[in-house]
């Protein structure tokens, strides 16, 4: 980190600031120029509040030269992380991450009934999905909308897992519900909870894989800092998910940031999954975006599928029918063949 001081900074101010920074465990390299004095801060600067520093009277500007995320940083872990998801009945593991391990996650926005989840699970499994998604606790904008089947929804997902052999992913909204997630294979942290730091800390205490979705208005660095919260607690099993960010565009529900894939792959070793369903909000856009994401190097896709989208209790407009999903899976498979040969 570099702090450029104002040209009128006095020696006393520089000495006081240096002592303050050294008190925080940093080495301070002072470089005095004709106009400006520059302090080079060496050591773990992740503890330093750059805005606080920049706000000091004698400081002109502050620039980070190293990222504040350490555990998630590819610089300190050059190889791709491969997250292992246990298959039911001790049938080994599914891997996600690295160039070879791509997974298709599919299922309804919300678990609605035994018939619905079982029929969707069976059809997406038959067309190549490897992990079943389904919301039990739903973060709805309106309190009057369907809130999910909650604990009963998780029970139904576990039943579908038993029948199909697919691991399951479902969203947690409250750390108090963690006991209900014992047999859930991947815990989703939704976009709205990406910065629920107390929840992230609790998830850091377990070794369960976490699907961490990017918030509606969060930068990639903020996403990585949220991953860092979980990793700081000891849980390194994190899958990042880009699900569209809010922009001025209104034809789509959100704007899919496809450049997040190569950028995150540069910045971090953690796998990156794309959710084209929430990104677009329009079912017919899911196929082209899914193909583009696979082409850009995503490690997986999470896609909403419903047996009766028109009557879905949540997110019907963006949900594919099982037949449409089968086509998308086939196209994505073809793109993957090209990507892995390239």
Binding site for Mn ion (CB under 5 A): 109, 315
Q: Which does 202 bind (CB under 5 to 8 A by kind): ligand PEP, Mn ion, none?
A: none
Residue number, 109 or 329, with CB nearest to ligand PEP: 109
Residue number, 3 or 137, with CB nearest to ligand PEP: 137
For residue 214, the minimal CB distance to ligand PEP (Å) is: 8
Q: Which does 190 bind (CB under 5 to 8 A by kind): ligand PEP, Mn ion, none?
A: ligand PEP
Return residues touching ligand PEP (CB under 6 A).
109, 135, 139, 190-192, 213, 243, 275, 278
Q: Which residue is nearest to ligand PEP (CB)?
A: 190
CA distance 279 to 254: 5
For residue 275, the minimal CB distance to Mn ion (Å) is: 9
Residue number, 46 or 255, with CB nearest to Mn ion: 255
For residue 275, the minimal CB distance to ligand PEP (Å) is: 6
For residue 198, the minimal CB distance to ligand PEP (Å) is: 18
Token duo for residue 160:
């579908």
Helix, strand, or coil (residue 270)? coil
For residue 190, the minimal CB distance to ligand PEP (Å) is: 3
Exposure on the CB side of residue 30, measured as CA atoms within 13 A: 14
Neighbours of 112 (CB within 10 A): 24
Q: Which does 242 bind (CB under 5 to 8 A by kind): ligand PEP, Mn ion, none?
A: none
Residue number, 37 or 254, with CB nearest to Mn ion: 254
Q: Which does 191 bind (CB under 5 to 8 A by kind): Mn ion, ligand PEP, none?
A: ligand PEP
Residue number, 17 or 325, with CB nearest to ligand PEP: 325
Closest listed residue to residue 244, CA positions, set 304, 322, 200: 304
For residue 109, the minimal CB distance to Mn ion (Å) is: 3
What does the buried/exposed string (b/e) look like for 291-317 if buried means 16 or more CB atoms within 10 Å of the residue's CB? bbbbbbebbbbbbbbbbebeebbbbbe
Residue number, 26 or 241, with CB nearest to ligand PEP: 241
Tokens 């730091």 locate to 197
Tokens 């329009």 locate to 282
The count of residues in the chain is: 342
Find residue 211's DSSP bridge partners: 188, 239
CA distance 39 to 303: 49
Cα 52 to chain centroid distance, Å, stands at 28
CA distance 38 to 265: 33
């Amino acid at each position: 980190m570099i702090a450029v001081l104002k040209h009128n900074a006095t020696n006393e101010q520089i000495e006081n600031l240096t002592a303050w920074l050294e008190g925080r465990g940093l080495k301070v390299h002072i470089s005095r120029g004709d106009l400006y004095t520059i302090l080079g801060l060496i050591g773990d600067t992740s503890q330093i509040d750059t805005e606080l520093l920049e706000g000091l009277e004698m400081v002109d500007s502050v620039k980070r030269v190293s990222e504040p995320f350490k555990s998630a940083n590819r610089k300190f872990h050059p190889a791709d992380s491969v997250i292992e998801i246990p298959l039911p009945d001790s049938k080994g593991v599914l891997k996600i991450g690295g160039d070879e391990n791509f997974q298709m996650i599919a299922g309804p926005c919300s678990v609605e009934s035994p018939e619905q989840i079982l029929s969707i699970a069976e059809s997406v499994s038959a067309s190549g999905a490897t992990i079943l998604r389904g919301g039990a606790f739903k973060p709805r904008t309106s309190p009057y909308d369907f809130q999910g089947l909650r604990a009963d929804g998780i029970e139904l997902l576990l039943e579908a897992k038993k029948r199909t052999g697919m691991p399951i992913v479902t969203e947690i909204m409250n750390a108090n519900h963690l006991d209900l997630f014992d047999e859930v294979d991947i815990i989703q942290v939704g976009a709205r909870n990406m910065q629920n730091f107390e929840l992230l800390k609790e998830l850091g205490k377990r070794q369960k894989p976490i699907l961490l979705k990017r918030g509606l208005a969060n930068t990639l660095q903020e996403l990585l800092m949220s991953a860092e919260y979980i990793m700081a607690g000891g849980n390194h099993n994190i899958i990042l998910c880009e699900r569209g960010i809010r922009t001025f565009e209104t034809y789509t529900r959100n704007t899919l940031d496809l450049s997040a894939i190569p950028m995150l792959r540069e910045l971090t070793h953690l796998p990156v999954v794309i959710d084209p369903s929430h990104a677009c909000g329009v079912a017919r856009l899911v196929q082209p975006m899914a193909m583009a994401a696979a082409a850009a190097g995503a490690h997986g896709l999470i896609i909403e599928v419903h047996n009766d989208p028109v009557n879905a209790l949540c997110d019907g407009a963006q949900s594919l029918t099982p037949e449409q999903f089968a086509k998308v899976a086939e196209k994505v498979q073809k793109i993957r063949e090209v990507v892995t040969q390239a």
